Amino acid sequence: MTQADSDPKRESVIDENLKRVYKEALEEGVPDRFRDLLAELKKQDSPKGSDK
């Protein structure tokens, strides 16, 4: 998009919408199933990590 094509109001609306969606994504919690899987992976890595 060139300078002549830009519309400050439209760009502002897009900017605000992107910020809102990003904020909502950050506020979403990690699903319990995913946390459980991460915990299992950490348990599997623990013995390997203690050998170092």
Using one digit for the tens of pLDDT, what is the confidence trace for 20-51?
999 999 999 889 999 999 999 999 988 655 55
In a domain, 34, yes or no: yes
Measured distance CA(43)–CA(30) in Å, rounded: 19
Confidence at 16, pLDDT banded by 50, 70, 90: very high
Distance CA 49, CA 37 (A): 18
The pTM assigned to this predicted structure is 0.49
pLDDT, residue 38, reads 94
Instruction: Quote the CA–CA distance of 47 and 27 in Å, as a whole number.
Output: 33
pLDDT at 24 (0 to 100) = 95
* In a domain? residue 1: no
User: Does residue 3 lie within any of the structural domains?
Assistant: no
In Å, how far from its chain's centre is CA 4? 33
pLDDT for res 46 = 81
Q: Confirm whether 40 is domain-assigned.
A: yes
Per the structure, the complete domain to which residue 38 belongs is given by 9-47
Does position 4 have pLDDT exceeding 70, yes or no? Answer: no
Give the CA angle between residues 36, 28, 25 to the nearest 5°.
125
